[in-house]
Amino acid sequence: MMTEAKDHGAWLVDTHAHLDFPELFGDLDGVFERCRAAGVAVVVTIGIDEKTSRMAIELSRRYSHVYATVGLHPHGARRLSDRDADAFVHLASEPKVVALGEMGLDYYRDRQPRPVQRACLEQQLELAVRCDKPAVFHIREAHEDFLKIVTPYAGRLRPSVLHCFSGDWATALRCLDLGFYLSIPGTVTYKNAQEQQRVVRMAPLDRLLVETDAPYLTPVPFRGRPNEPSYVRYTAEKIAELRGCSFEEVAWATTRNAERVFGWGKDRGAQG
């Protein structure tokens, strides 16, 4: 499937989807068929706790074009025991696990106490360093605290990803200074997404990624339905429109960026 989608020429990577969620898992064949038609050749499926991390790995074993991440989402944040930490390190050693996460701070939903979210993020940053893998960050209304926590890690941590980047341009600049990548979701197609659109126009193209966060955040024109990886195409098209360049240029750059961050090219030879 990967090869066929790549034959389209300009192909895309959905760098953040939850393939194990029922909306997608119930029809994976259809989901991948529509990926192929849309030129989406690779999907990174994301773990949000130990169970879903194991499912992500299972999917990456089953499908050659699927890669996985393992981590603990801020909604489920807790102080990790040594046993928890060892379990994540063990899972991260699987050959198709390309990052730790999603990890982070969510002060919008505040499902867990903020000090616990911060501690859990810090513990997972240690794990990312220990595993020598990038991190995938979920940060909502918490960029100041995030930057405070992450800055001391910047020299040791592989270039990492702010998924669904929702900060303003000033915040984007600080994240770019730390060597991070900004992953742009389907919300950039919404009329009220002016600040996100500004970030997309101003940021260097070699630091942008595209994602769906499927089944959430469905782009226009499918807003209101469950999202799925093939729709990442609408996000890439919107980015091309905003930057005044071609779709092919956006596809080529974001796909190269994803390869660089997640290392499924040649520089991490262990991966099949």
Nearest to 121 by CA among 83, 162, 93: 162
Candidates 7-15, 43-51, 59-67, 192-200 — which segment interacts with Zn ion by CB under 5 A? 43-51
Structure tokens at 210: 């595209």
Specify the residue, 25 or 247, whose C-beta has the smaller distance to Zn ion: 25
The size of the interface with Zn ion (CB under 5 A), counted in residues, is: 4
Q: What does the alpha-carbon distance between residue 47 and residue 29 come to, in Å, rounded to a whole number?
A: 20
Residues whose CB is less than 8 angstroms from the CB of residue 266 and which lie 6 or more positions away in sequence, other chains included: none
Least gap, CB of 108 to Zn ion (angstroms): 11
Stretch 91-110 residues interacting with Zn ion (CB under 5 A): 102
For residue 253, the one-letter residue type is: A
User: Does 162 interact with Zn ion (rule: CB under 5 A)?
Assistant: no
CB 193 within 8 A of CB 207: no
User: Does 138 interact with Zn ion (rule: CB under 5 A)?
Assistant: yes
Least gap, CB of 56 to Zn ion (angstroms): 11
Instruction: Return the number of other C-beta atoms located less than 10 Å from residue 238's C-beta.
Output: 24
Specify the residue, 123 or 243, whose C-beta has the smaller distance to Zn ion: 123
Stretch 208-247 residues interacting with Zn ion (CB under 5 A): 213
| β-pair type (161-163, 135-140) | parallel
Specify the residue, 46 or 68, whose C-beta has the smaller distance to Zn ion: 46
Least gap, CB of 139 to Zn ion (angstroms): 9
Specify the residue, 213 or 228, whose C-beta has the smaller distance to Zn ion: 213
Q: For residue 106, list its beta bridge partners.
A: 140
Report residue 133 CA to chain centroid gap.
13
Specify the residue, 14 or 213, whose C-beta has the smaller distance to Zn ion: 213
Residues that bind Zn ion (CB under 5 A): 46, 102, 138, 213
